[in-house]
Structures are given as structure tokens and as C-alpha cells.
A and B are shown apart, each in its own frame.
Chain A
Amino acid sequence: MSELISKLKGIASQVRRDIIRQVANVNSGHPGGSLGCTDFLTALYFHIMDHDPSFNMKAHNEDVFFLSNGHISPVWYSILARSGYFPVEELSTFRLLDSRLQGHPATHEGLPGIRVASGSLGQGLSVAIGAALAKKLNKDTKTVYALTGDGELQEGQIWEAAMFAAHHKVDNLIVTVDWNGQQIDGPNDEVIGLGDLEAKWSSFGWLVMHMDGHDYENIISTIESAKENSNQGKPIVILMKTEMGKGVDFMEGTHKWHGKAPNAEQTEIALSQLEETLGDF
């Protein structure tokens, strides 16, 4: 376990460097939530998910993942590139003209690893449910994963989807909520409070679990436990506590880096806190 965790931490450090360097390159993008979800996505893609090694996009007999909070594209692009979906060098094209790495994830340019566009919030959970239903129709026993933001739970479509998934027993679906407590305009509690999220999801008929999104042992054991509880008639949601900006001290715990890139000096400070483990793009 410790060997695995140290491997994952090494990857995550490089992913965080990739995030900072992508947004700094174009002076735009969303580093805060990207850094906060890095540990979860690293564990998911490099340990938990069962990918089709050919990277074909047919979604047959493999675990699939949907990102609903598409603005954290920098972390997803880095994770996908470092997983082998596309060349790592392509990260240098983030948000540039003619790039496959659009500001928000898109299928339009044919970037492998992305199955549907996201960015306009609240839509990814419905799409993940559709993919989970397709797996059942195809007698495919693999799992569908989805990640949503917490502010995104203010969208009504999320709760349409939540009601549907419980009614139709979509139990091959594990949804994680990035619960960093922040959104663009400030803390959730000041914008529109989310209330008792555990009570909300469980009253909608979901099995609710909790996770520390920066503790690898906890991430791995929680998702393993979620998998053990799947296929038992209930969709599963993991409320994941994270810190926005995790890994770069001056970005941690504030909404101020939600959608803002660091300047040259800040970039240098940020990179000095993150070890280059796999070679920069």
C-alpha cells in the first residue's frame, strides 16, 4: 500500500505542475478546483479504474468516467495525457487556437478520453446515468464514475437525475461530489447554502459515503467499499471533502483561484512547491 501511495503521490505532484503550467501559459483557466481534485483523479485513473488499454472510445467492458464540472479541465487533461490517452506534449496547447484541449472539455475536436462536452453545469450526472443504463443493456458489468462540483448542486437538473437514478436503481454508478465549499462568487454558504448534503442525497434514495479527497488510503478504501456496495439497488454518492487549490500554499482554501491564473512570479513559487516527477510537458 505505501509503495502504491508513494507512486500515486509522485504522479499527483506532476499533475499539479501540469495544471499550473497549463493555466499560466495562457493566463486563463481554473486552477483551484483542478488542484483540489488532483488526488482523487490520480487514484481513480492510475489505480481504481479499469481502462480499455487500446483507448478506443466505445465504452464497452471498461469503467468510464464523466466530468460534470468541466471547468477543471486542466487536471483532467493532465490525467488523461499521463494515462496515455494522448501525447503529454499536447498539454502545451491548452486553450490555444486549433487545439483539441478546449477551455472546457469537448468531443468536437476528437480528444480521446472525453465522451461528452461539459462546462455548462449540472448536466454530467444525467449523462453518466445514461451511460450506466447502456452498460446494463449491454450486460456490461463495469462501473460508471462521475464527478460533480458542490456549487453545481445548485442546478435543478442534478436533482432530476438524483431522483431518476434511485427510482430506476442505477446501481452501477458511483458519483463523487467535490465538496470544497467554494464557488466563483464565494463560499457556498454565502452564495446558496447546500444544507445537509448527506440528508438530501439519502432522502433521494442514494447510498451516501464520505471521503477525505487528499488522503490516498481513505480515497482507495472508500471507493473500494463503494464498489462492494454497487449492484445492490442503490446509486452511490461519495461526498468528498477537498481543499480548493491544494498543493500550492497561497491558493489553498480560497475561491480566489477558482478561475484565475497565476502570474510569472506566482507560477515560479507554485512550481517550487511541486516536485517534477515525470518530466514537464
Chain B
Amino acid sequence: MGIEKYTSTEKKSTRDGFGAGMRELGRSNPDVVALCADLVGSLKIQTFIDENPERFVQVGIAEANMMGIAAGLATAGKVPFATTFANFATGRVYDQIRQSIAYSHKNVKICASHAGLTLGEDGATHQILEDLGMMKMLPGMTVINPADYNQTKAATIAIADHHGPVYLRFGRPSWPVFMSESEFQIGKAIVMNEGSDITVIATGHLLWHAVEATKELLSKGISVDLINIHTIKPLDEEAILKSVSKTGKCVVAEEHQRNGGLGESVAGLLARNNPAPMAMVAVNDSFGESGKPDQLLNKYGLGISDVLEACEKVL
């Protein structure tokens, strides 16, 4: 098993993967109901709506109400998918999610697009970089941050069959497609390359940067264990501990604040079980700004060169 399997010949957005997953769910699962807060076009769910108009609820610009309605639908056995931008799907409605969905253990799928810096020109008001932290702190919440179109589509379909609240995070930009749908299983890490010198863990869009960095390191004769963590919670602790016990060092890359992100989860896991030198590729306690996705990733230290630098630091 190796990295050569993971190449990209096309670019598609993760939100398009979500839309494709919803289209399939519309056809296969009659209990799925989609809700949206005035962002249908951005969430790519028009096909679902066209094919299942009675199972779509337009709530308008009222996200708190949307979360409550989703919880209410779930009380009678529906499987609601509440969709909007990640910023409005988390921070804006944290208490509604906490009480009506998480504490009440409602089978609601919170599906959030336009997460992170790669939303681009709209700027920091919309570029949420704290959502994974907020969601992973809620007891019982499953948190998933897939890496590309295929993985987002697979995750969308998988969470409908998982009973319990889920936060599914994806994004706006066109992005390399390199994973296969069949590899996805909630809570199960995907080891994309086996190696013995360093463990590289990545989630979401940053996984592609980790793939590129891995190829570069391999060409220099450094043996990399590359792990795709799409499920932030529950974390596949066994896969991470197994890898780090072999390599003894670790880098975690994510499009999120360092505080509260996947890196922090991994650091905690290692500190409790097998302390090891580690570096984090993440936003360091700052808001984003307007710009193109690649410009922003580079400026805020999330580029391919930043992943390489972090690896060199711990090697």
C-alpha cells in the first residue's frame, strides 16, 4: 500500500461531493429530510430538492430555528440534514445544537459548507476556523471533515445510517480528487502510505498538501506514514498510536485553529499514551482575511512548504 495510488486528475469541490451524496440519499432513504437556511445553491442540494420537493424545508435566514426544527423532525423518526455555511452551522447556533440536538441525542446531521480559509474572498466573517473544536467538545457528537469530493460523498451517505448527531464539515473551492469512495468508514483512519521515519496526519483540504509533502519527502529517502483522519471524533486512536509507536514523531495538518483542532486531539492522545515530538500545521490564533484560497493557505502557514517545514522540524 503506498502513496502512488493517490493521484489527482481532476478538481471538484467537497460541497459538490455533498450534493452528490444527497442526491443518492434522496433516492435511497425516504426518511432523509433536507433543511437549508437560504443557501441552496451554495450547498449543491438542488437535485435533491427537485427530486424530493416534499422532503425539503426552506427555513430562510434563521439558523437557530433550523436546528430546532431538525431536532423536532428527528423526534418522529426523520433523518434531518440541516445545511448552511459552517460559520452559521456552529458558532451562531451553539446552544441550540447543545441542548436540542447533542444533549437530547437527536439524529440530526449538521452539514456545513464553506469552512475554513479556502472560502476565500468573503473574508474572516465567514471563514470559521473554530468549528471542529466547538463540535468535538459536545458529548456524543460525531465530527467528520472529509478530504475531497469522493470522501465527502461517501461520508454524506454513511452518516444517514449512523444513529446520532453528526457534524459534517466541507468547503467551497475546487480541490484535487484523489480518494476513493469505498475507502470511507466512519471513525476508521485510512493509512495512505506506510513508513517508519515520521507520521503525517491530515484532515480536510490539507490532506492534499500532506500527500504532496509526503511525495517530496519520499523522494528524499524519508519514510512517511501518512494517515487520513476524516473522522475527528471518535478519533481512531489505535491507528495513530500504532503509527507513532513505529515512527516516534508526528505532524498534524488541518485548516483550523491550532487551539481546539485535530492536532490538539492527537497531542492529548500522545501525551496520555506515548509522548512524542510533534508539530502542528494550523492557524495560530488569528482570524483570516479576503484573498484567493491558495494565497490564504500560504499566508496563514498551511501551504505544502509549511507541511514540509513542520516535518523537517520534528525529524
Contact = CB atoms under 8 A, between A and B. Distances in A.
B72 A117 contact: no
B49 to A, nearest CB: 15
Interface string B49-81: 000001101011010111111111111111010
Interface in B209-261: none
Interface stretch (B93-101, B184-192, B286-294): B93-101
Nearest to A104: B99
26 contacts: A60-B76, A108-B104, A115-B75, A115-B104, A116-B71, A116-B72, A117-B103, A120-B98, A123-B68, A123-B100, A126-B65, A126-B69, A126-B71, A126-B72, A126-B100, A127-B71, A129-B65, A133-B57, A133-B73, A137-B54, A137-B78, A140-B76, A156-B64, A160-B60, A160-B65, A163-B60
Given A117-B104, A130-B80, A125 B68 contact: yes
B72 A106 contact: no
B68 A130 contact: yes
Given A130-B80, A157-B64, A116 B75 contact: yes
Contacts of B99: 117-120, 123
A175 to B, nearest CB: 13
B72 A127 contact: yes
Interface in A98-119: 106-108, 115-119
Interface string A146-167: 0000000000110011011001
B158 to A, nearest CB: 23
Nearest to A168: B57
Contacts of A140: 76
A178 B100 CA distance: 21
B126 interface: no
B267 interface: no
A240 interface: no
Interface in B77-114: 77-78, 80, 95-96, 98-100, 103-106
Nearest to A132: B72
A131 B103 contact: no
A96 interface: no
Interface in B265-280: none
A116 B62 contact: no
B67 A126 contact: yes
A116 B65 contact: no
Interface in A54-102: 58-60, 64, 66
A106 B106 CA distance: 12
B296 interface: no
Nearest to A66: B72
A168 B98 CA distance: 26
Given A107-B105, A116-B106, A58 B76 contact: yes
Contact of B70 (A59, A64, A107, A130): A130
B33 interface: yes
A127 B75 contact: yes
A135 interface: yes
Nearest to A144: B72
Given A118-B99, A123-B96, A133 B69 contact: yes
Given A117-B103, A123-B99, A130 B54 contact: no
A128 interface: yes
Contacts of A120: 95, 98-99
A130 B73 contact: yes
Contacts of A119: 99
B299 to A, nearest CB: 36
Contact of A134 (B65, B68, B72, B104): B72
A131 B54 contact: no
Contacts of B72: 66, 116, 126-134
